[in-house]
Amino acid sequence: MTRLSTAVAVLALAAAPALAAETGGCGAFAWPIEPDKALLAAAPMAETGARLDLSRPAAVRLVLTDAAKAGFELPPGKPAAAAAPAGALRFEARTGVYQITTTERVWIDVVQAGKRLDEAGFSGVLDCEGARKSVRFQLQDGPATVQISGSPSRTVGIAVTALPR
């Protein structure tokens, strides 16, 4: 074995644990998502632009459209291909932290009072059946819009939960 091939082998072995850390199933999320997965499994279909009643945690399977027809309040924070499906979901927020979990790897923006909000936390895994991404946002009282862009499919499950204070 040459020095170069030995070095490559050592690097490959050293990288294996790092790759494994990106897996681990649903338990690898930074916070519990089992309640969100249950909501997503029973989510009814909804058209983009729908209003979500958050008197309790809720989920929908949002039917996406072309980005130009998605009803965005602001352009997405991460540009996506023009042909990538996109959509919006609206709800009335109370001051607090909200967890938004999706079934697909999509870009999530939350817009409130004309501003795109910063994430308060992010977690995602590739090998959890029924959930791919979960993001937390700090919201204030008032209308809020979840904007989904860059979707690989024409529908996406979205669970929205107000976390206990």
Give the model confidence (pLDDT) of 21-31 as tens digits.
356 899 999 99
For residue 67, the model assigns a pLDDT of 87
Q: What is the pTM assigned to this prediction?
A: 0.84
CA 147, 110, 143 angle in degrees (round to 5)?
100
Contact between 63 and 47 (Cβ < 8 Å): yes
Which residues, given as ranges, of the chain have pLDDT below 50? Answer: 1, 4-21
For residue 165, the model assigns a pLDDT of 82
Q: Which amino acid is at 100?
A: I
Domains and CATH numbers, the chain: 24-162 (2.60.120)
Nearest Cα residue to 122 out of 105, 137, 106: 137
Q: Which residues of 86-108 are buried (b: 16+ CB within 10 A; e: fewer)?
A: bbbbebebeeeebbbbbbbebbb
Contact between 75 and 147 (Cβ < 8 Å): no
For residue 81, the model assigns a pLDDT of 79
For residue 17, the model assigns a pLDDT of 36
For residue 37, the model assigns a pLDDT of 97
For residue 103, the model assigns a pLDDT of 97
For residue 15, the model assigns a pLDDT of 40
